[in-house]
Amino acid sequence: MSGEATVGRRAGSRRAQAIRQTVAAAPFLLPSLVLFAVFVFYPLVRSIWLGFHATDPFGRNEVWVGTAQYHDVLTSSDFRHSLLVTGQFALYTVIPATAIGLYLALLSHRRLPGIVVFRTIFSSTVATSVAVSSVVWLLMLNPSVGVLNYILGKGGVPTESWLTSPTWALPAVAMTTVWMNIGFATIVILAGLQNIPEELYESARVDGAGRWSEFLHITLPGLSPTLLFVSVVGVIFAFESFGQIQILTQGGPLGATNVIVYSIYREAFLHYNIGLASAQAVVLFVIVLLLTLLQFGVARRWVFYR
Amino acid sequence: MRRLAALCAVLALTLAAGSGCGSGGVRYSHGRVEVRLWHSMSGVTGDALKKIVDGFNASQSEYTVVPIFQGGYADSLKKLVSSLDTSSMPALIQLDDIELRFMVDSHAIAPAQDFVDADARTPGSHPANLADFEPRALDYYTLNGKLQAMPFNLSGPVLYYDRDVFAQAGIDHPPATLDEVRADAQRLLLRNPDGSLKRNGIALSINGWWLEQMMAKQGALFANNGNGRQGLATKVLIDSPAGIAVLSWWQEMVQSGLATNVGTSGLQSLLAVVTGKSAMAIESVSALRAIVLALGPASARLGVAPMPAPPAPDNSGGMVLGGAAMWIMKDRPLAEQRGAWEFLKYATQPQVQAQWHYDTGYFPVRVSSWDLEPAASLHRQYPQFAIAHDQVVRSPRNLATAGAVIGPFTQVREYEQTAFEQVLVGGKTPQQALATAAKDADRAIARYNRSVR
Question: Does residue B399 sit within a domain?
Answer: no
User: Taking CA atoms, what residue in B is nearest to A275?
Assistant: B451
My answer on whether A103 and A221 are in the same domain is yes
* Local confidence pLDDT in tens for the 453 residues of chain B: 455 555 455 445 444 444 333 336 888 988 899 999 999 999 889 999 999 999 999 999 999 999 999 999 999 999 999 898 888 999 999 999 999 999 999 999 999 999 999 998 888 888 888 999 999 999 999 999 999 999 999 999 999 999 999 999 999 999 999 999 999 999 999 988 887 888 999 999 999 999 999 999 999 999 999 999 999 999 999 999 999 999 999 999 999 999 999 888 778 899 899 989 999 999 999 889 888 888 888 888 999 999 999 998 788 899 999 899 999 999 999 999 999 999 999 999 999 999 999 999 999 999 999 999 999 999 998 999 988 888 899 999 999 999 999 999 999 999 999 999 999 988 999 999 999 999 999 999 998 998 887
* B268/B202 same-domain check: yes
Q: Do B249 and B117 fall within a single domain?
A: no
Task: Tell me whether residue B308 is in a domain.
Answer: yes
Same-domain pairing of A174 and A254:
yes
**What is residue A126's three-state secondary structure?**
helix
Is there a single domain that holds both residue B274 and residue B143?
no
SS (H, E, C) B7-74: HHHHHHHHHHHHCCCCCCCCCEECCEEEEEEEECCCHHHHHHHHHHHHHHHHHCCCEEEEEEECCCHH
Inside any domain, residue B200: yes
CA distance A176 to A124: 14
Separation between Cα atoms, residue B293 and residue A34, nearest integer Å? 52
Instruction: Write out the residue range of the structural domain in which residue A144 sits.
Output: 71-302
* Any domain includes B188: yes
Q: Does the residue B30 lie in any domain?
A: yes
Per-residue pLDDT of A133-157, as tens digits, reads 999 999 898 877 788 888 888 887 7
Contact residues, chain B, for A146 at CB < 8 Å: none
Q: Are residues A110 and A210 in the same domain?
A: yes
CA distance A70 to A68: 6
Q: What CATH number does the domain containing A243 carry?
A: 1.10.3720.10
Alpha-carbon separation of residue A90 from A164, A229, A231, B304 (angstroms): 21, 15, 10, 46
Whether residues A100 and A176 share a domain: the answer is: yes
Number of structural domains chain B divides into: 2
The reply to whether B232 and B208 lie within a common domain is yes
SS (H, E, C) A213-247: HHHHHHHHHHHHHHHHHHHHHHHHHHHHCCHHHHH
Residues A40 and A107 in one domain: no
Whether A100 is in a domain gets the answer yes
Identify whether residues B168 and B274 lie together within a single domain.
Answer: yes
Contact residues, chain A, for B426 at CB < 8 Å: 166, 254
Q: Are residues B233 and B362 in the same domain?
A: no
Domain of residue B122, CATH code: 3.40.190.10
The CA distance from A84 to the nearest CA of chain B, in Å, is 18
Regarding whether B294 and B331 lie in a shared domain, the answer is: no
Query: Which domain does B427 fall in, by range?
Result: 157-317+404-452
The reply to whether A294 and A171 lie within a common domain is yes
Same domain assignment for residues A47 and A120: no
A32 with A177, same domain: the answer is no
- Count how many domains chain A has: 2
B interface with A, Cβ–Cβ below 8 Å: 6-7, 10-11, 13-15, 17-18, 74, 78, 81-82, 84, 102, 105-106, 108, 261-264, 268, 271-272, 275, 277, 407-408, 410-411, 414, 417-418, 421-422, 425-426, 444, 447-448, 451-452
Min distance A16 CA to chain B CA atoms (Å): 20
Q: Are residues B82 and B203 in the same domain?
A: no
Q: A45 and A174, same structural domain?
A: no
Q: Please check whether residues B207 and B332 belong to one and the same domain.
A: no
In a domain, B14, yes or no: no
Whether residues A232 and A274 fall in one domain: yes
Contacts of B78 in chain A (CB under 8 A): 269
